[in-house]
Amino acid sequence: MSDCLFCKIAAGEIPSNKVYEDGSVLAFRDINPQAPTHILVIPKEHIADSAAQITEGNSAVVAHCFEVIAKIAAQEGLSDGFRVITNAGAAAGQTVPHLHFHILAGVSMAEKLL
């Protein structure tokens, strides 16, 4: 989608602090981190605005996102634990309508929402 921020980041039209990249997935550091480690993992292709649009037809790249998340957790040394969040829709706090997964780590989240 031409007017999508994360499509532009995936295409390299907007710079990002990349953590991992392969043919179908990109991971980069959040511009406004909510934890000492805050990384966004996105399918490069705009397969869905949010998790509400994941289907049998597009979920293979979602599974790959989670393989990448495990790799990043090892690469970043997140052995103490990490949280993966996806916001779907405005009421959930989603601000960028391109499916993405937040990896958060480096602070104890045991007492928080989940």
Q: How far apart (Å, rounded) are the C-alpha atoms in residues 57 and 70?
A: 23
The full DSSP string for 16-64 is --EEEE-SSEEEEE-SS-SSSEEEEEEESS---SSGGG--TTTTHHHHH
Nearest to 78 by CA among 26, 31, 27, 24: 27
Contacted entry of Zn ion, ligand 5GP, none for residue 95, CB cut-off 5 to 8 Å set by kind: ligand 5GP
- Stretch touching ligand 5GP by CB under 6 A, among 24-32, 61-69, 70-78, 106-114: 24-32
Does 46 engage in binding with Zn ion (CB under 5 A)?
A: yes
Among 4, 24, 30, 64, binds ligand 5GP (CB under 6 A): 30
Q: For ligand 5GP, give the closer residue by CB, 32 or 79.
A: 32
Among 1, 11, 31, 70, binds ligand 5GP (CB under 6 A): 31
Nearest to 97 by CA among 56, 46, 63, 26: 46
Chain residues 90-109 in contact with ligand 5GP, contact rule CB under 6 A = 93-96
Chain positions contacting ligand 5GP, by CB under 6 A: 5, 14, 16, 28, 30-32, 40, 87, 93-96
